[in-house]
């Protein structure tokens, strides 16, 4: 044994006298994790978060969270002599006068975009495979909340340099806050320390960005991981994989190397992006001045759906309704719509469990096709979201494709209601079709494409049975029957309590499962196999009688 | 074939199909498992990547020392890039990436790739633990007297309900109350209108038909310096446009323009972006943020987009020295709507 390994062993021994490390290691060092590329999406989010913490600390060394006006004297010539906030001045200093400062800034910004994107795509994976089902509902809520918190954190960080682009973003948020009924104006004055823009907002945002939110995120990440560890990872169906086991590789050494190595890969790719691809060139925008604006202003992508909704929403406002001004044109797209979206997102596992009546523990993942309605709902939500994101860049899209911005806005206004239901229907039919195909594969095997002409002139296509690996995947499907509505009264004539809710639940359950294609029972599969055997035997007989050669596909 | 475990099955709705379990497929050995030479080759590959990573770190330090911040690299059509950013990122990124690739290559080629099976246990605590926990809790509740001693319980809840109030009250001084500050700007009767960039006062003849000028009140700079913030500017900025008087369809007040020169707030009535995209032929003003479009020839009314209200017009005239001045402050609050605006 090498001295390094010996040393580690001795250190653990000494530490164990003080805390029961060995007991912890004994249970967990060889903990099994399953392998699949889609399980790495959450890892990308985790690693991006670590990169954000690391680079963020560097940025705090030089960044000055102050709106005090100073005159720039740094080495970026075009801005020399221009008055600006200390915040913007220090962001320029980091970019041009701290060696490697620009690199750290760009790593931080790229990592923030990756963090948000990885979380969102990870959520899609969890959603479409049903990984949020019991016992993991709480982890879904934690994860969903992290996306929301990450969005606020990203916006705060984006605003800190106090450049012209991000300053306009803050101006828009101030306008949104003003639209909130009853408390909006007061909220604005409290947050900004008076009228917009004041001189308190950047320092306050800084504390929010580097202390409060990272603390909450760190605690959430910790809890998220502890629960993953405790529940053991879900796995995809396949041979040897059941709801009661987990098949894969041990944490030590395989995942220590793979997941540890993947951290370095994510970090390395982020650094190379920061080296080669400029992001948020704040020096090109100039300092924030409240009466200037850049054309083609875009928020970071994760804010896009709110901005897209704000751009598309019709100009409804009640200038004086009950003695007050109601800005529906801002309130609905920027407060109500995201609020409803987040509420639906966080409550989805509970809604689905209520509709399906399924209270079992699930550790084996669903194939998206087998949960046709869920998959269709997800595709519908993504369509809705996607249209809004694109509309958040409608000026850029209009310019790039030479379209009228007015027509594009109208397209969004109508499309955001028309396309999601269409996508829902199409996705659901698509999933049901795949379910039917799975059933056919089990019952009749795969069409080989080889056509055989029998001596009496009949044409048959040879079907080859699917492999056991494929069968294992398809047979993992569990059918759930829709819930039936209870009778209005029981046998003693007493009205069923909560009848209306139960009827609704039955209706939703029927809509959810109604058209699902039943997985064939083993008896049905056996019968089909017998039939197939008989058919083949018959074909061989016919060929034999005619004295024709027997193709090997039939005898295999 | 075996039964699915049925520890936690709902009484409604579940149809348990026949469960079929297929065994794990047989394990196939890799080349590195069977051929020692292949294994040694993989070992060399991993080590080479670790060595290259170390070399990249040395190159990083060399680049840090050697390349000044002010040096730029021309990458042709890809643009110009800070040399130090490029070199530091390249060396550090490669060093990091190589460690990652090497570790994964090691895991894939040399560590055991035989899948192992771990068994799950029901996630919840066993029933006896639940019972014991409940018993412990009940004992605690009984000993505390929380249930019987109603007065203690109610006063405790009351005290705890009030307790957070100071934390909220203390936030009061985060900012002043709005008062009527959103209703006024620093424009006064006779405030001179100056060009925003140069601070030069404007005469009507300085503006041609079709032109647009960003402007502000002459005393803005002094007020801004006295206040130490940009609050005054955020509300007082205006745009001046000049059109043929015959093109003006309507105005927000009679006599508010001067020979075809109109002044409007620059702050969008939607969510407050400054606007200066002007199409002189149609007299349309377009907000670059959310594309609200206003017709300045027709009282600044909204012709497209999410904004609900017309851009507020500033009444202007010319003073005795021939300079453009404001007749008064804006007659309505500028910028986005707010609850108390009505």
Q: What is the ipTM of this complex?
A: 0.92
**Phi, psi of A463, rounded to the nearest 5 degrees:** -100, 135
Residues of chain B contacting residue A94, judged by C-beta atoms under 8 Å apart? none
Strands A83-85 and A69-71: antiparallel
DSSP collapsed to 3 states, A337-382 = HHHHHHHHHHHHHHHHHHHHCCCCCCCECCCHHHHHHHHHHHHHHH
Helix (H) or strand (E) holding A272: helix A256-276
For residue B279, the cross-strand partners are B284
Residues of chain B contacting residue A296, judged by C-beta atoms under 8 Å apart? 288
The answer to whether residues A171 and A254 belong to one domain is yes
What is the pLDDT averaged over residues A128-144?
A: 97
Distance CA A396, CA A357 (A): 47
Instruction: Report DSSP state, residue A298.
Output: -
What is the pLDDT averaged over residues A3-18?
A: 90
Classify A240 in phi/psi space as left (phi over 0), alpha (psi -120 to 50) or beta: left
Helix (H) or strand (E) holding B317: strand B316-318
Q: Around B125, how many Cα atoms within 13 Å sit in the side-chain half-sphere? A: 8
- H-type alpha helices, A131-255: 137-159, 164-179, 184-192, 201-207, 213-231
Cβ A294–B98 below 8 Å, yes or no? no
* The dihedral formed by the CA atoms of B310, A163, A114 and A346, expressed in degrees to the nearest 10: -40
- H-type alpha helices, B1-82: 31-34, 36-66
Q: What angle do CA A363, A367, A369 make, to 5 degrees?
A: 145
On whether residue A420 sits in a domain, the answer given is no
Can you give the C-alpha Rg of chain A in angstroms?
30
Handedness of CA A88, A93, A96, A101 (dihedral sign): negative
Structural domain span for residue A146: 31-361
On whether residue A24 sits in a domain, the answer given is no
pLDDT at A175 over 50: yes
Q: How far is CA A362 from the centre of its chain?
A: 20
Distance CA A519, CA A478 (A): 8
Helix (H) or strand (E) holding A416: helix A405-444
B272: how many CB neighbours lie within 10 A of its CB?
26
Tokens of B57: 């770190």
Cβ A313–B82 below 8 Å, yes or no? no
Domain boundary among A361, A390, A422: A361
Which chain B residue has its CA at the smallest distance from A356's CA? B13
Domain boundary among A327, A361, A395: A361
pLDDT of residue A240: 92
pLDDT of residue B306: 96
How distant, in Å, are the alpha carbons of B129, B130, B149, B155, B253 from that of B137?
12, 10, 17, 22, 74
Distance CA A435, CA B97 (A): 41
A318: how many CB neighbours lie within 10 A of its CB?
14
On whether residue A269 sits in a domain, the answer given is yes
- How close, in Å, is residue B269 to chain A by CA atoms? 9
Cβ B231–A198 below 8 Å, yes or no? yes
- How close, in Å, is residue A312 to chain B by CA atoms? 7
Beta-carbon contacts of B75 under 8 Å, excluding residues fewer than 6 positions away, are B81
Asked if A259 contacts B91 with a C-beta cutoff of 8 angstroms, the reply is: no
Task: Determine what percent of chain B is predicted with pLDDT higher than 90.
Answer: 84
Residue in A176, A268, A281 to test binding to B, most B beta-carbons within 10 Å: A268
pLDDT tens-digit series, residues A358-404: 888 999 999 999 999 999 999 999 999 999 999 999 999 999 999 99
Picking from B20, B100, B306, the nearest residue to A264 by CB comes out as B100
Residues of chain B contacting residue A330, judged by C-beta atoms under 8 Å apart? 270-271, 306, 336-337
Residue B13 — pLDDT band, cuts 50, 70, 90? very low
Residues of chain A contacting residue B185, judged by C-beta atoms under 8 Å apart? none
Distance CA B62, CA B60 (A): 5
On whether residue A375 sits in a domain, the answer given is no
Residue B17 — pLDDT band, cuts 50, 70, 90? low
Number of structural domains (chain A) is 2
pLDDT at A333 over 60: yes
Picking from B7, B104, B290, the nearest residue to A261 by CB comes out as B104
Residues of chain B contacting residue A315, judged by C-beta atoms under 8 Å apart? 270, 292, 302, 305-308
Cβ A310–B69 below 8 Å, yes or no? no
Bond preceding residue A506 cis, omega within 30 of 0: no
Relative orientation angle of helices A256-276 and B83-109, to the nearest 10 degrees: 160
The answer to whether residues A84 and A176 belong to one domain is yes
Cβ A99–B64 below 8 Å, yes or no? yes
Which chain B residue has its CA at the smallest distance from A75's CA? B70
| DSSP per residue, A80-98 | TT-EEEHHHHHHHHHHHTS
Residue B10 — pLDDT band, cuts 50, 70, 90? very low
Cβ B22–A103 below 8 Å, yes or no? no
Cβ B90–A509 below 8 Å, yes or no? no
Residues of chain B contacting residue A472, judged by C-beta atoms under 8 Å apart? 20, 22
Asked if B212 contacts B278 with a C-beta cutoff of 8 angstroms, the reply is: yes
Which chain A residue has its CA at the smallest distance from B88's CA? A100
On whether residue A448 sits in a domain, the answer given is yes
**Minimal CA–CA distance to A47: which of A124, A100, A103, A118?**
A118
Strands B313-314 and B293-295: unpaired
Lowest mean pLDDT among A231-235, A541-545, B42-46, B118-122: A541-545
Instruction: Report DSSP state, residue A253.
Output: I
- How close, in Å, is residue A137 to chain B by CA atoms? 13
Asked if B339 contacts A325 with a C-beta cutoff of 8 angstroms, the reply is: yes
Can you give the C-alpha Rg of chain B in angstroms?
37
Tokens of B239: 């745009």
pLDDT tens-digit series, residues A493-521: 888 888 899 899 999 999 998 888 988 88
Residues of chain B contacting residue A197, judged by C-beta atoms under 8 Å apart? 229-231, 234
pLDDT tens-digit series, residues A292-329: 988 777 889 999 999 999 999 999 999 999 999 999 99
Asked if B306 contacts B292 with a C-beta cutoff of 8 angstroms, the reply is: yes
pLDDT at B290 over 50: yes
Residues of chain A contacting residue B84, judged by C-beta atoms under 8 Å apart? 99-100, 102-103
pLDDT of residue B57: 98
| Residue A21 vs residue B50, higher pLDDT | B50
Handedness of CA B86, B92, B95, B99 (dihedral sign): negative
Q: What is the pLDDT of chain A when averaged over all its residues?
A: 93
Q: Around B259, how many Cα atoms within 13 Å sit in the side-chain half-sphere? A: 11
Residue B54 — pLDDT band, cuts 50, 70, 90? very high
Residue B16 — pLDDT band, cuts 50, 70, 90? low
Report domain extents, chain B.
Answer: 3-174, 181-326
* The dihedral formed by the CA atoms of A522, A526, A532 and A536, expressed in degrees to the nearest 10: 150
Tokens of A308: 């897209």
Cβ A254–B274 below 8 Å, yes or no? no
Residues belonging to chain A? 556
pLDDT of residue B15: 54
Local structure of A452: helix, strand or coil: strand
Cβ B79–A278 below 8 Å, yes or no? yes
Domain boundary among A361, A381, A399: A361
Q: Which residue has the tokens 């840090």?
A: B64
Asked if B210 contacts B180 with a C-beta cutoff of 8 angstroms, the reply is: no
Residues of chain B contacting residue A31, judged by C-beta atoms under 8 Å apart? 118
The answer to whether residues A349 and A459 belong to one domain is no
On whether residue A176 sits in a domain, the answer given is yes
Asked if B247 contacts B230 with a C-beta cutoff of 8 angstroms, the reply is: no
How far the first Cα of chain A sits from its last, in Å, is 53
Residue in A170, A233, A275 to test binding to B, most B beta-carbons within 10 Å: A275
What is the pLDDT averaged over residues A340-344?
A: 96
- How close, in Å, is residue B205 to chain A by CA atoms? 25
Cβ A69–B181 below 8 Å, yes or no? no
Distance CA A55, CA B92 (A): 14
Residues of chain A contacting residue B77, judged by C-beta atoms under 8 Å apart? none
Which chain B residue has its CA at the smallest distance from A312's CA? B306
pLDDT of residue A556: 61
Residues of chain B contacting residue A168, judged by C-beta atoms under 8 Å apart? 273-274, 289
Which chain B residue has its CA at the smallest distance from A165's CA? B289
- How close, in Å, is residue B238 to chain A by CA atoms? 9
Residue B122 — pLDDT band, cuts 50, 70, 90? confident
Q: Which fold has domain B181-326?
A: Rieske Iron-sulfur Protein (2.102.10)
- How close, in Å, is residue B307 to chain A by CA atoms? 5
pLDDT tens-digit series, residues A37-48: 999 999 999 999
How far the first Cα of chain B sits from its last, in Å, is 73
Cβ B88–A103 below 8 Å, yes or no? yes
Cβ A327–B308 below 8 Å, yes or no? yes
Residue in B93, B98, B172, B216 to test binding to A, most A beta-carbons within 10 Å: B93
What's the burial of B258, exposed, middle or buried (CB within 10 Å: 0-12/13-18/19+)? buried
On whether residue A410 sits in a domain, the answer given is no
**Phi, psi of B14, rounded to the nearest 5 degrees:** -85, 130
The answer to whether residues A356 and A458 belong to one domain is no
Cβ A268–B181 below 8 Å, yes or no? no
Distance CA A289, CA A192 (A): 16
Distance CA A311, CA B39 (A): 60
What is the pLDDT averaged over residues A447-473?
A: 86
Cβ A356–B13 below 8 Å, yes or no? yes
| Residue B237 vs residue A459, higher pLDDT | B237
pLDDT at B158 over 80: yes
Distance CA A252, CA A229 (A): 14
On whether residue A92 sits in a domain, the answer given is yes
Distance CA A432, CA A440 (A): 12
Distance CA A357, CA A360 (A): 9
pLDDT of residue A537: 83
What number of C-beta contacts closer than 8 Å exist between A and B?
Answer: 378
pLDDT at A541 over 80: yes
What is the pLDDT averaged over residues B257-285?
A: 95
């Amino acid at each position: 044994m090498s001295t390094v390994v010996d040393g580690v062993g001795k250190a653990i021994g000494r530490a164990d006298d003080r805390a029961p490390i060995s007991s912890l290691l004994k249970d967990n060092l060889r903990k099994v994790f399953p392998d699949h590329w889609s399980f790495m999406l959450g890892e990308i989010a985790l690693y991006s978060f670590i990169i954000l913490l690391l680079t963020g600390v560097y940025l705090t060394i030089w960044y000055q969270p102050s709106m005090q006006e100073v005159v720039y004297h740094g080495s970026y010539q075009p801005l020399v002599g221009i008055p600006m906030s200390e915040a913007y001045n220090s962001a320029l200093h980091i970019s041009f006068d701290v060696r490697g400062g620009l690199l750290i800034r760009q790593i931080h910004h790229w990592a923030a975009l990756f963090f948000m994107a990885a979380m969102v795509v990870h959520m899609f994976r969890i959603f479409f495979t049903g990984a949020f089902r019991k016992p993991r509902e709480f982890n879904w809520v934690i994860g969903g909340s992290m996306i929301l918190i990450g969005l606020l954190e990203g916006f705060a960080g984006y605003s800190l340099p106090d450049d012209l682009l991000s300053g306009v973003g803050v101006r828009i948020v101030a306008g949104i806050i003003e639209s909130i009924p009853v408390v909006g104006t007061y909220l604005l004055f409290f947050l900004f320390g008076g009228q917009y823009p004041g001189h308190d907002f950047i320092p306050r945002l800084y504390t929010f960005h580097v202390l409060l939110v990272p603390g909450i995120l760190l605690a959430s990440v910790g809890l998220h991981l502890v629960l993953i560890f405790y529940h053991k990872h879900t796995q995809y169906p396949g041979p040897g994989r059941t709801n009661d086991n987990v098949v894969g590789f041990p944490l030590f050494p395989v995942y220590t190397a793979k997941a540890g190595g993947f951290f370095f890969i994510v970090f390395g790719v982020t650094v190379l992006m920061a080296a080669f691809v400029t992001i948020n060139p704040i020096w090109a925008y100039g300092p924030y001045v409240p009466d200037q604006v850049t054309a083609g202003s875009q928020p970071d992508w994760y804010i896009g759906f709110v901005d897209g909704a704000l751009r598309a929403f019709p100009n409804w406002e009640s200038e004086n309704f009950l003695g007050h001004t109601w800005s529906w044109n801002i309130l609905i797209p920027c407060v109500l719509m995201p609020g409803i979206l987040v509420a639906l997102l966080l409550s989805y596992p509970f809604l689905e469990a209520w509709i399906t009546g399924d209270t079992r523990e699930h550790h084996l993942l669903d194939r998206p096709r087998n949960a046709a309605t869920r998959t269709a709902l997800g595709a519908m939500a993504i369509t809705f979201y996607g249209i809004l994101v694109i509309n958040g860049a409608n000026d850029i899209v209009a310019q790039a494709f030479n379209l009228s911005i007015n027509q594009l806005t109208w397209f969004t206004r109508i499309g955001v209601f028309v396309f999601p239901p269409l996508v829902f229907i199409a996705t659901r039919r698509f999933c049901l079709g795949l379910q039917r195909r799975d059933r056919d594969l089990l019952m009749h095997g795969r069409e080989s494409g080889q056509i055989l002409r029998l001596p009496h002139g009949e044409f048959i296509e040879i079907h080859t049975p699917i492999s056991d690996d494929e069968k294992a995947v398809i047979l993992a499907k569990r059918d759930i029957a829709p819930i039936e509505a209870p009778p209005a009264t029981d046998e003693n004539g007493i009205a069923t309590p909560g009848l209306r809710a139960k009827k609704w639940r039955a209706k939703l359950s029927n809509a959810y499962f109604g058209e699902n294609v039943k997985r064939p029972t083993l008896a049905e599969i056996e019968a089909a196999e017998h039939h197939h055997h008989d058919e083949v035997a018959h074909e061989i007989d016919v060929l034999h009688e005619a004295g024709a050669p027997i193709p090997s596909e039939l005898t295999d | 074939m075996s039964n699915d475990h049925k520890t936690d099955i709902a009484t409604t709705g579940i149809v348990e199909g026949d469960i079929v379990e297929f065994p794990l497929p047989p394990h196939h050995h890799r080349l590195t498992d069977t051929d020692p030479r292949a294994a040694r080759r993989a070992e060399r590959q991993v080590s080479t990547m670790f060595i290259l990573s170390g070399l990249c770190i040395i190159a990083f330090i060399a680049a840090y020392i050697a390349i000044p911040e002010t040096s730029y690299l021309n990458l042709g059509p890809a643009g110009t890039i800070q040399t130090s950013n490029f070199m530091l990122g390249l060396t550090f990124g490669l060093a990091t990436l190589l460690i990652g690739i090497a570790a994964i290559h090691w895991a894939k080629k040399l560590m055991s790739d035989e899948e192992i099976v771990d068994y799950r246990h029901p996630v919840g605590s066993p029933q006896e633990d639940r019972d014991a926990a409940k018993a412990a809790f009940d004992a605690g509740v009984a000993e505390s007297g929380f249930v019987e001693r109603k007065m203690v319980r109610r006063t405790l809840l009351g005290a705890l309900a009030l307790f957070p109030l100071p934390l909220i009250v203390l936030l009061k001084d985060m900012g002043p109350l709005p008062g009527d500050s959103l209703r006024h700007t620093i424009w006064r009767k006779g405030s001179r209108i100056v060009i925003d960039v140069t601070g030069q006062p404007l005469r009507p003849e300085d503006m041609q038909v079709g032109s647009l000028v960003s402007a502000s009140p002459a005393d803005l700079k002094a007020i801004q310096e006295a206040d130490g913030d940009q609050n005054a500017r955020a509300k007082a900025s205006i745009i001046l446009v000049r059109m043929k008087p015959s093109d003006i369809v309507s105005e927000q007040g009679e006599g508010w323009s001067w020979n075809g020169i109109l002044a409007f707030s620059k702050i969008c009535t939607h969510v407050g972006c400054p606007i200066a995209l002007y199409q002189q032929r149609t007299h349309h003003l377009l907000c670059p943020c959310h594309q609200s479009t206003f017709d300045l020839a027709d009282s600044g009314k909204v012709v497209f987009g999410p904004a609900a209200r017309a851009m507020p017009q500033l009444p202007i005239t010319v003073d005795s020295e021939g300079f453009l001045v404001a007749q008064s402050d804006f007659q309505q609050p500028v910028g986005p709507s707010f609850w108390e605006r009505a």
